[in-house]
Structures are given as C-alpha cells and as structure tokens.
C-alpha cells in the first residue's frame, strides 16, 4: 500500500510548471516578443508585455503541458489588451505610444501593421495572424462580432493598399483566416518570426 502511494507521488504532473513556461518563453522568445511588439507597436511596452506574459503564465491557472505553448501566446495577447486597452482607443488614427523606430527599416508588412489604428491592429493580429475567431476577438476586446468584422475589413483594406503601392497585391500573409482555434496556431507570425531574431 505504501509502495503504491509512493509510486503515485512520483508520477509527473500533467500540468505545465514555472520551469516549463520559462523554457517556452526562452525557446519562442523571438515569436512571442514579435507578437508583443505587433500588438503594442512600442518597444518598451512590448518588453513589459513579454515579461508580464511570462509572469501571468507562471502564476495563473494550471494548464496542461500540451497546451502550454498556446497558453503562452494567449497570455501575451491578453496582457497587451490589458496594457493598451484598444477598445477605448478604437477611434485613434495613430498607433498607441511611439511606433518603434525600427519599423521604418523592418520588413514592409511589419511596418504597415504597426501603423494601423490601435483597434484595427489588435483585430488584425488576433484574427489574421493568430487565428482567433470573431467570437473570441469580441470577447477579449469587449466589442461585438460586427465591430470585429468591420475593423478587420478596414485593416485588410489598408494593408492591401500598402501592398499595392509596394507592387505586391497578392500578399499571402495578409489573407484573412477565421479559424475556431485559439492563439495556439503560430500561423501568420511564422512569416515574420525570422526577422525578430535580428531585432
């Protein structure tokens, strides 16, 4: 009986530990920081968002290990929403804070994303790059599905006009996708993640 109890105690936990999240944030640092930066459009705030996302992931509700990577990206997104409060700045025509200086020299698509108005930028990154559904976007951003659709349309139109000016009207990375999944899919961010390594 005592041997059985000891065996049960030695069984690994199915939940991600603080160390697991540290390893995920270290391994996926470029991608997760890039997500923070595209959402906040501000290098200083992006750094705070990244560090805060790690802390929230470590201290929050237990998460199964197989969901930990998706949970890390989700915590970055929710922390960015908390910090920037995009719904309150839905009518702002300029990005929140200062646009990172490197935007002018990074890949054109990245520069155009951070130039989007705040609300449109969050909707674009969440729904097009991170594949949040309209329902999920509306819940997290505190708006209606119709507002999500309208913001995504405006963002895509602005990105499309910018692509045409660059002579790239068929930019695959900017085609809308509205999957039912959460931010676990690396999706569109893979198109940009290589750039973050040199940031």
User: Is 9 part of a structural domain of the chain?
Assistant: no
Contact (Cβ atoms closer than 8 angstroms) between residue 148 and residue 123: yes
- Residue 145 maps to a domain: yes
For residue 181, give the 3-state DSSP assignment: coil
Q: Is 132 part of a structural domain of the chain?
A: yes
94, part of any domain: yes
Domain carrying residue 37: 17-188
* Residue 79: closest CA among 32, 117, 112: 32
**Does residue 197 belong to any structural domain of this protein?**
no
Encode pLDDT of 55-64 as tens digits: 999 998 899 9
Backbone angles phi, psi at 15, to 5 degrees: -95, 150
8 Å CB contact between 159 and 112: yes
Q: What confidence category does residue 185 fall into, taking pLDDT thresholds of 50, 70 and 90? A: very low
| Structure confidence at residue 42 (pLDDT) | 93
- Position 134 in a domain: yes
Number of structural domains (the chain) is 1
Q: Report the mean per-residue pLDDT for the chain.
A: 81
Confidence of residue 188 (pLDDT cuts 50, 70, 90): low
Proportion of the chain above pLDDT 90, given as a percent: 60
Tokens of residue 113, six digits: 């994303």
- Provide the pLDDT for residue 116: 95
pLDDT digit string, tens, across residues 149-160: 999 999 999 999
Domain assignment present for 7: no
- Who's near 198: CB < 8 A, 6+ residues apart? none
Residue 198 within any structural domain of the chain:
no
HSE toward the beta carbon, residue 123, CA cutoff 13 A = 29
Q: Which residues contact 96 (CB under 8 A, 6 or more apart)?
A: 40, 41, 42, 45, 84, 86, 89, 118
Residues 129, 132, 134, 140, Cα dihedral to 10°: -110
Q: Does residue 147 have a pLDDT over 70?
A: yes
pLDDT at 61: 87
pLDDT tens digits for range 56-108: 999 988 999 999 999 999 999 999 999 999 988 755 555 444 444 554 445 77
């Amino acid at each position: 009986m005592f041997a059985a109890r000891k065996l049960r105690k030695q069984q690994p936990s199915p939940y991600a530990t603080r160390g697991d999240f540290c390893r995920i944030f270290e391994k996926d640092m470029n991608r997760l920081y890039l997500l923070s930066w595209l959402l906040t459009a501000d290098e200083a705030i992006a750094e705070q968002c990244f560090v805060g996302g790690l802390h929230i992931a470590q201290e929050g509700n237990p998460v199964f290990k197989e969901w930990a990577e998706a949970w890390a990206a989700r915590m970055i997104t929710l922390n960015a929403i908390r910090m920037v409060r995009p719904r309150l700045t839905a009518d702002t025509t300029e990005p929140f804070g200062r646009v990172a200086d490197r935007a002018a020299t990074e890949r054109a698509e990245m520069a155009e994303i951070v130039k989007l108005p705040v609300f449109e930028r969050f909707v674009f990154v969440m729904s097009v790059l991170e594949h949040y559904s309209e329902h999920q976007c509306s819940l997290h951003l505190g708006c209606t599905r119709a507002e999500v659709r309208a913001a995504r349309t405006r963002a895509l139109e602005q990105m499309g006009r910018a692509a045409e000016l660059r002579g790239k009207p068929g930019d695959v990375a900017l085609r809308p996708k509205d999957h039912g999944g959460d931010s676990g899919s690396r999706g569109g961010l893979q198109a940009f993640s290589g750039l973050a390594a040199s940031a």
